[in-house]
Amino acid sequence: MTDKKTLRAQYLDRRLSLSIQEYDAMNVRLCSNFFSSLDLNEVKTVHVFLPILKKKEPNTWLIINRLQSDYPHIKISIPKMTDDHRLINYYFESKDQVRENHWHIPEPTFGELTSTKDIDLIIVPLLVFDKHGHRLGYGKGFYDRFLATCRADSQKVGLSFFEPTDTIESEATDIPLTSVVTPERAYYFQ
């Protein structure tokens, strides 16, 4: 089993080495596959991470735009990091409420707070995932702490440009994903 530090470096490097054309094409397929793979009929609120485009994270703005145009009844919630390493969430109103923080992560600067009990589906960032639904992020634990506060029945959906690795070492505090969408297919875990 490859250690977490090595996996993080490998998958971040893979993502950063994508050409702009590959990156753009993968984002279009990923967005399309997201909507064809998930049933959003019962979903009232979706939490969406905002992408760090310079790190070539999946461009979730494509998903946000499509949710707004095709699913206007679904509320969108976006995260903001706190100084004590937690996420608080605000309903998305417009790009006017979003600014980059000192880590260059886009986040809301104002808005109506979202209660975690109202979130039905969480789109979770990751660098790599395994065949059991475990994910590896940047290692700061923001999403593990956030997911622990969400409803047990909320869908936890990862987005990845790449297929899964065999196994990621998991810890008791890790919350497994319910599914991961890639440009090619979706994986379901629970």
∠ Cα 151 157 161 (to 5°):
160
- Of the given ranges (12-16, 42-46, 67-71, 167-171), which has the lowest mean pLDDT? 167-171
CA 12/CA 56 separation, integer angstroms: 9
Predicted structure pTM score: 0.95
Which of 123, 134, 125 lies closest to 165 in space, CA to CA? 134
Which of 83, 72, 86, 70 lies closest to 32 in space, CA to CA? 70
What is the model's pLDDT at position 9?
93
pLDDT beyond 80 at 2: no
Joined tokens for residue 165? 């690795």
Q: What is the pLDDT of residues 61-83, one digit of tens each?
A: 999 999 999 999 999 999 999 98
CA 7/CA 74 separation, integer angstroms: 35
CA distances, 96 to each of 52, 67, 92, 111, 137 (Å): 17, 18, 10, 11, 27
What is the model's pLDDT at position 4?
87
What is the model's pLDDT at position 1?
61
158 forms bridges with which residues in the sheet? 124, 180
Contacts for 152 with CB less than 8 Å, ≥ 6 apart:
none
pLDDT beyond 70 at 3: yes
Q: Provide, rounded to the nearest whole percent, the portion of the chain with pLDDT above 70.
A: 99
Mean pLDDT, all residues of the chain: 94
pLDDT beyond 90 at 169: no
Q: What is the pLDDT of residues 92-147, one digit of tens each?
A: 999 999 999 988 899 999 999 999 999 999 999 999 999 999 999 887 788 989 99
- Structural domains in the chain plus CATH codes: 4-188 (3.40.50.10420)
